[in-house]
C-alpha cells in the first residue's frame, strides 16, 4: 500500500505551518515503499543517531499498513512506550485520521486479561516491551494466576493456532491430556529451561494473532547475543521475542515485513549488523 498521502504532500502541516515530514523522511518512506512493497523484500534497517526522526518514519509506514487493513506490532524499550504512543497519535492526526486505540501491554499477564480495550488480538497496532518474555515462574500469586489462565485456555482443546510450531503444539496437547486426568501443571515446568516454557510462550503470543509489519525499536539492544542459533536459554529476551514474532507469523501466505531502527550505528561491528538482519 502506498504510504500515507501526507508523506508526499507539502500541504500536510502542523498547526504552526511546518510540514510534518521533512524531505529526507519523505524520501526514506518512498524507498521503504519500493523495497517492502514493490520489490517484496523482507525488511530494512534505518540506522541513525538519536533524534533524527526514525520513529516518525516508522509510524508513518505503520499508518500506511493500517490504512490497508493490516496490523502492526512494535517491540519497544520499556521507557519509550509513551513516546511511541504520542508519535502514533500525532502522526494520525497529521494525516487527519482518528488515532488507533493501543492496548496497554506491559507483561504476559496482560495478554490473558479480559479488561484490555481493544482486544490485543484485534487491535491494529500493538506495542510490546522488549522484556515481555523476561518473567519467572515461581509459587507467587502472579505465577499461579498466569499458570491458571494458561490451563483454562488449553483445557479440552483439540486444535491450536497455526501460529504455533507443530512440535510445540504436541507439547500443549500433552498438557491437555494431563489436565484431563486431573494432573495440574507445576510452575517450574514453565520456568527457564523448563520442558513446557517454549510451548507456553508460543501459545501466549498466539493470542495476539498475526501481523503484517514488525517494527523493532533499538534493534541493536540484542547485539550482545553471539548468534540467533545459540542456546535458547542464553538469548536475550528481545531476541527470543523477535524470533517468535517472525517465526510464528511466517506461516502466513505473505510473511510479515520487518523494519529495524537502530541508533549508535558507528559503534556496531559487522556481526552486529548480521544479527539485526
182: cis peptide before it, omega within 30°? no
| pLDDT grade for 60, boundaries at 50, 70 and 90 | very high
Higher pLDDT, 88 or 254: 88
Quickly state the pLDDT bin for 18 (edges 50, 70, 90): low
Region 33-44 average pLDDT: 89
The C-alpha cell that represents 254 in the structure block:
505473505
With a pLDDT cut of 90, the percent of the chain lying above it is 39
The band of 125, judged by pLDDT with boundaries at 50, 70 and 90, is very high
Q: Taking residues 26-37, what's their average pLDDT?
A: 92
- The average confidence (pLDDT) of the chain is 83
CB neighbours of residue 157 within 10 Å: 14
**What is the arithmetic mean of pLDDT over 90-108?**
88
Mean pLDDT of 6-27: 61
pLDDT-derived band at 236, boundaries 50, 70, 90: confident
Asked if residues 29 and 61 have their Cβ atoms less than 8 Å apart, the reply is yes
Q: Residue 125 in contact with residue 213, Cβ under 8 Å?
A: no
Which residue's C-alpha cell is 517484496? 40
SS3 assignment, position 241: helix
Instruction: Give residue-wise pLDDT tens across range 137-196.
Output: 887 888 899 999 999 999 999 999 888 888 999 999 999 999 999 999 998 899 888 889
* pLDDT of 247: 72
**Neighbour tally for 221: CB within 10 Å:** 19
Percent of the chain with pLDDT over 70: 83
41 and 31 in contact (C-beta within 8 Å)?
Answer: no
Cα-Cα-Cα-Cα dihedral sign, residues 76, 64, 211, 38: negative
Amino acid at each position: 500500500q502506498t504510504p500515507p498521502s501526507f508523506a508526499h504532500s507539502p500541504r500536510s502541516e502542523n498547526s504552526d505551518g511546518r510540514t510534518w515530514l521533512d524531505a529526507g523522511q519523505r524520501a526514506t518512506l518512498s524507498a521503504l515503499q519500493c523495497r517492502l512493497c514493490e520489490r517484496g523484500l523482507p525488511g530494512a534497517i534505518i540506522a541513525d543517531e538519536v533524534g533524527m526522526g526514525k520513529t516518525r518514519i516508522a509510524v508513518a509506514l505503520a499508518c500506511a499498513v493500517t490504512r490497508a487493513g493490516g496490523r502492526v506490532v512494535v517491540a519497544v524499550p520499556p521507557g519509550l512506550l509513551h513516546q511511541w504512543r504520542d508519535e502514533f497519535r500525532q502522526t494520525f492526526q497529521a494525516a487527519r485520521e482518528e488515532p488507533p486505540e493501543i492496548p496497554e501491554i506491559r507483561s504476559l499477564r496482560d495478554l490473558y486479561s479480559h479488561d484490555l480495550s481493544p482486544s490485543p488480538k484485534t487491535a491494529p497496532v500493538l506495542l510490546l516491551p522488549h522484556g515481555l518474555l523476561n518473567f519467572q515462574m515461581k509459587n507467587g500469586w502472579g505465577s499461579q494466576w498466569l499458570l491458571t489462565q494458561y490451563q483454562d485456555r488449553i483445557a479440552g482443546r483439540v486444535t491450536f493456532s497455526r501460529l504455533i510450531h507443530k512440535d510445540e503444539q504436541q507439547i500443549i496437547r500433552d498438557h491437555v491430556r494431563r489436565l484431563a486426568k486431573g494432573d495440574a501443571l507445576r510452575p517450574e515446568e514453565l520456568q527457564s529451561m523448563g520442558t513446557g516454557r517454549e510451548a507456553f510462550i508460543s501459545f501466549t503470543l498466539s493470542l495476539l494473532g498475526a501481523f503484517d509489519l514488525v517494527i523493532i525499536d533499538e534493534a541493536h539492544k540484542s547485539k550482545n547475543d553471539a548468534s540467533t542459533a545459540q542456546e535458547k536459554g542464553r538469548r536475550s529476551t528481545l531476541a527470543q521475542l523477535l524470533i517468535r514474532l517472525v517465526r510464528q507469523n511466517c506461516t502466513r501466505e505473505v510473511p510479515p515485513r520487518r523494519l529495524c531502527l537502530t541508533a549508535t550505528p558507528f559503534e556496531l561491528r559487522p556481526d552486529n549488523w548480521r544479527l539485526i538482519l
